[in-house]
A and B are shown apart, each in its own frame.
Chain A
Amino acid sequence: MNSEPESRNNILLALREILPEKYLLTAKEDLKPYECDGMPAYQRIPIAVALPSTIEEVQKIIRACESQRIPVVARGAGTGLSGGALPHEGGIILGLSRFNTIIDIDHENMTMRVQPGVRNLAISEAAAPYGLYYAPDPSSQIACTIGGNVAENAGGVHCLKYGLTVHNILEVKIITVEGDLVTLGSMTLDTPGYDLLALMTGSEGMLGIIVEVVVKLLPRPLATNVLMASFDAVEDAANAVAIVISKGIIPAGLEMMDNLAIKAAEDFANAGYPVDAEAILLCELDGAEEHLAEQVNIVMVALGEANASNVVMANSEQEKAQLWAGRKAAFPAVGRISPDYYCMDGTIPRKRIAEVLVEIKALSEKYGLRVANVFHAGDGNLHPLILFDAGIDGELEKAEHFGGDILELCVKMGGTITGEHGVGFEKLDQMCVQFNPDELTHFHNIKHAFDPYELLNPGKVIPTLHRCAEVGAMHVHNGELPHADIPRF
């Protein structure tokens, strides 16, 4: 085996043959911006950052890395919230930011072919002249890339009705670890063979490098409306979600905020939120005019049944935008009321929302850390924001434990540890809770079918059985680490 500096030099030598100097970053200060993604708690410096702009360059880079067994971590915009694009110390970052061309807008087929570094919002902007848009709209859509969206199966406020990334793409081209260019999916509804497009979606850079994406476009809704319902009890707001759905209505978006989030957002965005309400629901409805009016009536009745203390309906485009402004600014708004926050991403069955919020509140008291809840209630995707101060010794660890407890609670309630932010590096331990060793082995088998030497984003998403054995042991001992002197990995 090569010694570390030697393997470093060899790969740099190979990469210099492939890329012009300015697109191969190796200086400490140039590598620094790549040390973490949107989850700054984890940081590592890679050997180099390669910034190719053609498929051929990506193929050559991958082949060079494969032959020298150098790990490759793909990176889009680095907005991921689970450490998915966290570098590997012995590996390179493959940055796709220069793949930012819209290749083709086919408005007749209602599709757009784009490079992976194109930003999510740029797609809808380019489609707008044709009256079309791309439905998945993560809150990070100004910055995040479509390649990152596919890799994370990103969702957004409107995915309750319009689906996640996996429902809104037709085809991707990937580079395999061997450097082959392979097309997954097609422009038709039935692609032969296994559905590798679905498998690639949400695989977090572990199975291949996405170098091209074809997205589906939808006609812009004819009309939309936004309702805001206030509640005196969080449980009522939670139950309202199930009541609305039981009326046969699928809102375009159904979001919930609790009192702490309401207050923070109102302070920040002046959206007109009721700061004394225990919770609000924001409900967006869309459709043809007549259909919209009908839905509004049904939802109004449902909210009444659910004990809403007040319901406001937006009367203009401006009022709609204002109601959404608070929700959209909720994360930065919470950022203002606490030095740090930790965003969780569990999903639970809708009917369990009330119960889970109550338990989170109890945990909040136990840990002595505040929690603001602002989330995609319609599909049961929670985003508890745990407030803490990293400047205070031990608070980060406390927040992490608290977060872990929340995710385990989600699993216990029949849900999952991540709805849209991915496992990345952050939730490896919770994967041990959600999946047993046989299931993890199954995942490793999938990985090995694509990447036998574990060079693509190694050490993420699927924990080793060894790690889980240790986590299991930690659980048995109620968080008190057995053999605390043994190093853990």
Chain B
Amino acid sequence: MALNITPSSIVDRDISIELQQQVQSSIDLRSPLLIRGGDSKLFYGRDPVETSNILELKNHTGIINYDPTELVVTVRAGTRLLDLELLLEKNQQILSFEPPMFNQQSTIGGVVAAGISGPRRAFSGSIRDAILGVEMINGDGKIVKFGGEVMKNVAGYDMSRLMVRSMGTLGVILNLSLRVMPKPEKEISLILDATQGEGLAYCKQWRTQHLPLSATSWYRGKLYLRLSGSDITIDAALKKLSQQMSFEFLEDDIFFWQSIRNQQHAFFNKVSKPLWRLSLPINTPVMARFEGDLLLEGGGTQRWVSNNAAEKIIRAVVGRHGGYATLFNGQKHLPGVAPFPILAPELHKLQKNLKRKLDPQNIFNPGRLYRDI
């Protein structure tokens, strides 16, 4: 279902101080906190900590600063992704990483903390590429600010990027600044018949052809691609592509890409088995072990598999290709399996050291990323 909601105006409400007080008392009592945005990604990662000590971010909302010519927006973390995107849309701008909106309550803070990017990502970058600054409550209970609204900033360590995909384990994001991009003048999508191998081969040949690609997907013998740009650019691209293959225009393309982005596509709906996200080097060939139900994105860099194969086998095969397998809907199907790939021991040690130093009382979403992180 396409999201088609009129903009509810974004409420301007700063509850930083209340949030900070709750964090401080959690530190004092060493009482773990469950940090909650829109609850749209509850299924992702390890189980949230069992506690009634819940830090609700959804009422911390509002746009702090938005000047379209600066290509930056600064927003409170509880602001809904839906509202933020509508605001950008009005100004002909977009979030270039196209994050999923698994429900309409999804907050921008949760988007950053989970760090999941969508179809455009392989072509115009991920959340970590777009984040410029964060203001957060840290493990000392202090409100601290890192980065800012400028594109280039190397003063101190890059705490903003570290918050992306930290799953709320390093602190509470209060406000954040994101680089935004001009909305493409036009987008059209094409569909063609292709085996998985042919699909990957096309994606590979396009990589060096300077095409205005902004998404690709392959599913059940069809390759889908989206072109974004001006009329002239798209016409030129179509000419180039028509010399390489025959294709049709994809109708309802907005709906199609939204269904990939938000996992409403038939592939995801039918998933009655565990859903794995495979992240792979861009030139990874067809992986024979996973010829079952499969959906590819980003020129093959991201492959979704629903498969009953044992975790060990999946991780081993993917590992041989230099990639990682994440169990995306773990708790539902394989509650005993760690959703995130196991880290090399020395790397795990560094990550754990970091968690200990930044969250000495271990209160921020403990165990959401790894058992001890």
Contact = CB atoms under 8 A, between A and B. Distances in A.
B208 A219 contact: yes
A389 B92 CA distance: 50
A138 to B, nearest CB: 12
A182 B146 contact: no
B241 to A, nearest CB: 13
Given A416-B148, A449-B358, A190 B207 contact: no
B126 interface: yes
A79 interface: no
Nearest to A218: B208
A109 B281 contact: yes
B145 A439 contact: yes
B358 A347 contact: no
Nearest to B229: A291
Interface residues of B, number: 88
Interface stretch (B52-60, B306-314, B338-346): B338-346
B154 A422 contact: yes
Nearest to A216: B282
Interface stretch (A198-206, A266-274, A361-369): A198-206
A379 B152 contact: yes
A182 B207 CA distance: 31
Interface residues of A, number: 91
Interface string B198-233: 000000100111101000000000000000011011
A190 B357 contact: no
A65 interface: no
B158 to A, nearest CB: 5
Interface string B315-348: 0000000111010000000000000110110111
A448 B155 CA distance: 18
A190 B129 contact: no
Contacts of A443: 156-157
A189 B347 contact: no
Contacts of B351: 193-194, 196
Contacts of A195: 115, 128, 161-162, 164-166
B175 interface: no
A164 interface: yes
B324 A188 contact: yes
Interface stretch (B29-37, B136-144, B253-261, B267-275): B136-144
Interface in A412-456: 414-423, 427, 431, 434-436, 438-439, 441-443, 445-450
B189 to A, nearest CB: 19
B291 interface: no
B233 A192 contact: no
A203 B129 CA distance: 17
Contact of B207 (A110, A189, A245, A421): A110
Contact of A192 (B122, B149, B182, B343): B343
A219 B210 contact: yes
Interface of B: 67-72, 92, 115, 121-122, 125-126, 128-129, 138-140, 142-146, 148-159, 161-162, 164-166, 170, 181-183, 185, 204, 207-210, 212, 229-230, 232-233, 235-237, 277, 279-283, 298, 301-302, 322-324, 326, 340-341, 343-344, 346-351, 353-354, 356-358, 369-370, 373
11 contacts: A180-B349, A189-B279, A189-B301, A193-B343, A195-B162, A245-B69, A291-B233, A381-B152, A416-B148, A421-B154, A431-B156
Interface of A: 106, 108-110, 131-132, 152-153, 155, 159-160, 163-164, 166-167, 176, 180-184, 186-196, 198-199, 201-203, 207, 219, 221-222, 242-243, 245-246, 248-250, 287-291, 294, 347-351, 376, 379-381, 414-423, 427, 431, 434-436, 438-439, 441-443, 445-450, 461-462
Q: Which 8 A-B pairs have the closest CB atoms?
A: A198-B161, A248-B182, A419-B152, A190-B279, A438-B142, A188-B279, A379-B151, A187-B281
